[in-house]
């Protein structure tokens, strides 16, 4: 089984629709199917929350 490191940009692509979101969705699907392992840096949730907060602050 291969192991992939998920960074903040990949996690945000999974949560918010943007370019290459389908790649992040496929990686999660492979993980759920037991094909790959996913690991992440310790602060990925804090970094992702910051990115999502900034997206909410952007004017529409």
CA-wise closest residue to 10 among 2, 30, 1, 26: 26
Nearest-angstrom CA–CA distance, 3 and 44: 17
Domain range for 47:
2-57
Q: Structurally, how many domains does the chain consist of?
A: 1
* Helix residue ranges, H only, the chain: 8-15, 21-32, 44-57
Tell me what pLDDT residue 58 has: 85
- pLDDT, one tens digit per residue, over 27-60 is 999 999 999 999 999 999 999 999 999 998 987 6
Render pLDDT for 9-30 as a digit per residue (tens, 0 to 9): 999 999 999 999 999 999 999 9
Burial 25-58 (b: 16+ CB within 10 A, else e): eebbeeeeeeeeeeebeeebeebbeeeeeeeeee
Kindly report the pTM of this predicted structure.
0.82
């Amino acid at each position: 089984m291969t192991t992939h490191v998920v960074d903040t940009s990949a996690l945000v692509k999974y949560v918010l629709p943007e370019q290459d979101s389908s790649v992040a969705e496929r990686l999660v699907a492979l993980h759920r199917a037991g094909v790959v392992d996913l690991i992440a840096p310790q602060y990925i949730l804090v970094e992702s929350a910051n990115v999502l907060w900034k997206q909410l602050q952007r004017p529409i």
